[in-house]
Chains A and B, each alone.
Chain A
């Protein structure tokens, strides 16, 4: 297996401790849990998505753990502006605030609350189950470009997380790039559903949700591959990464770093586990493998 040389990592304007980032929505509600994940080996952490107003989220059930993935519909629960308190223990740490809004103005307003208090922003233009937010905006290239531009005006590193629930993800990636994004994160969850045959109704309170984990890894690799061909800004691969070899595969598709979420459910020590397999002093330089599967 290919292993990577240890060394400094900077992606999309954010200095990371390694190539493995905690994905948004996973143990990202409190400063304490995010700090814990950095202690447990994450090279950077992305917070729970924060929006213009506090939200309680959808009625439960919010999660179904499947054999090869996780189906969820949390409904963007968040404390809104009060989240600034949670960032205090994360000062000068590689902590990225995930942001959502219903229009470019709301994105800029929310980002403004955290300017200078985080290492960067990740724009949630991709949640598949929140009406008026997330993917409702992320399927429209003009809106993606406008929201990205509005946040980039603050002068902070700005990553844009894309939804795979579109016909052509490259079109959306290019819109984010035009808007000034410093990196693209691909992908958010795939819109999905399961039905409880015993209960004769969908297992999620919101009926529809997003699928993450092993099951979507091939979709994520394909999306990263397509974005690498279409865009020049860095890509961060996300979706079903759970082993060192899946990190390498994402990098060969074109990712400069990866985000890890669902794998944390099986093992909260997943970052250390992957790091132990991924790095060696005499390993390959990351730049030699990023995108090497193209051409």
Chain B
């Protein structure tokens, strides 16, 4: 299997070099798809050139602007968790949004990848599987109805499922599925999900000695998205999730705030 399939139509934008004003781009919502009881996908009338794992800043006019991973070249997949996502859930087809980005890095591609997703964490991993480099995908959710993208993922990779309540697949967590895999088979491992789940995955992977080939997509409160305001910096190295990440290697995260705490909009620490 190879990863040669192009992700998008246009050449990737290099936002480090002068390239004119980077004002938000206006897009219209063309379609809203109910994925699970708490997750919807919003499709736009415009495609963005991106690498799987990159994010955009989504401006909901009059409400706020929030970072969202692209689940396709013209779509974001969103869980309703706060004021901005709540307002987004109230939008209908035809609503205008402003988009800045894509920003940040993406997942490092391999030839034989393992992807591990929890809940809405499957969103940035869907385009990775569509680039034909993911051999196996471990997909976890609280319950069957909250499993995201089962059919789409199944088209391009082997999906193994776990649910917390046992309504589908293995009764338990995605970490339980790892017992039956030979991790050495995979050259890269990509992980995205709730931080406690990712922390458990890192502990397991590190105990087997594969932390350096594993990458995790982090979520932190962001204001600027372009690496200057500092609100998303993680301890102890002061790396910027928006610019140095959001994808970081397991090696780097082992001795960090990852899994322990994060900072809120004011910069105050909150335990995870």
A198 touches B96 (CB 8 A): yes
Task: Kindly specify which of A65-73, A109-117, A134-142, A250-258 makes contact with the partner chain.
Answer: A65-73
B266 touches A79 (CB 8 A): yes
A83 touches B65 (CB 8 A): no
Contact with B along A50-61 (1 / 0, CB 8 A): 000011110111
Q: Could you give 28 example pairs across A and B, Cβ below 8 Å?
A: A26-B230, A27-B229, A28-B230, A30-B263, A34-B238, A48-B267, A57-B265, A61-B65, A62-B224, A63-B225, A63-B228, A64-B21, A64-B22, A64-B23, A64-B24, A65-B22, A66-B21, A70-B228, A77-B223, A77-B231, A77-B265, A79-B267, A194-B21, A196-B98, A199-B26, A199-B96, A203-B23, A266-B16
* Given known contacts A28-B230, A61-B98, A201-B61, A36 and B237 CB-to-CB distance under 8 angstroms: yes
Contact with A along B121-159 (1 / 0, CB 8 A): 000000000000000000000000000000000000000
- Inter-chain CA distance A36–B227, complex, in Å, is 13
Residues of A near B25 (CB, < 8 A) are 198
A30 touches B267 (CB 8 A): yes
| A interface residues, Cβ below 8 angstroms from B | 25-30, 32-37, 48, 54-57, 59-67, 70, 72, 74, 77-80, 82-83, 85-86, 194, 196, 198-199, 201, 203, 205, 261-262, 264-268
Which one of B21, B65, B228 contacts A27 once the chains associate, using CB atoms below 8 Å? B228
- Interface size on B, as a range, is 35 or more
A27 — nearest CB in chain B belongs to which residue? B230
A198 — nearest CB in chain B belongs to which residue? B26
A29 touches B63 (CB 8 A): no
Shortest Cβ distance from residue B148 to the other chain A in the assembled complex, whole angstroms: 26
* Residue B226 lies at the interface, judged by CB distance under 8 Å to chain A: yes
Please indicate which of the listed interface residues A26, A32, A61, A64 has the most CB atoms of chain B within 10 Å of its own CB: A61
* Given known contacts A27-B228, A70-B228, A61 and B267 CB-to-CB distance under 8 angstroms: no
Please indicate which of the listed interface residues B19, B61, B63, B239 has the most CB atoms of chain A within 10 Å of its own CB: B61
| B199-258 interface with A by 8 A CB criterion | 223-231, 233-240, 243
Residues of A near B23 (CB, < 8 A) are 64, 66, 194, 196, 203
Interface of B is mostly: loop
Please indicate which of the listed interface residues B96, B224, B237 has the most CB atoms of chain A within 10 Å of its own CB: B224
Which one of B64, B98, B226, B233 contacts A29 once the chains associate, using CB atoms below 8 Å? B233
Residues of A near B100 (CB, < 8 A) are 61
Residues of A near B239 (CB, < 8 A) are 36
Which one of A60, A85, A86 contacts B223 once the chains associate, using CB atoms below 8 Å? A60
Which one of A54, A62, A67, A265 contacts B20 once the chains associate, using CB atoms below 8 Å? A67
Shortest Cβ distance from residue B59 to the other chain A in the assembled complex, whole angstroms: 5
- Inter-chain CA distance A56–B243, complex, in Å, is 21
- Inter-chain CA distance A25–B16, complex, in Å, is 20
Contact with A along B17-34 (1 / 0, CB 8 A): 011111111100000000
B233 — nearest CB in chain A belongs to which residue? A33
* Residue B66 lies at the interface, judged by CB distance under 8 Å to chain A: yes
B19 — nearest CB in chain A belongs to which residue? A67
- Inter-chain CA distance A240–B244, complex, in Å, is 24
A32 touches B268 (CB 8 A): no
Residues of B near A34 (CB, < 8 A) are 238
Residues of A near B18 (CB, < 8 A) are 67
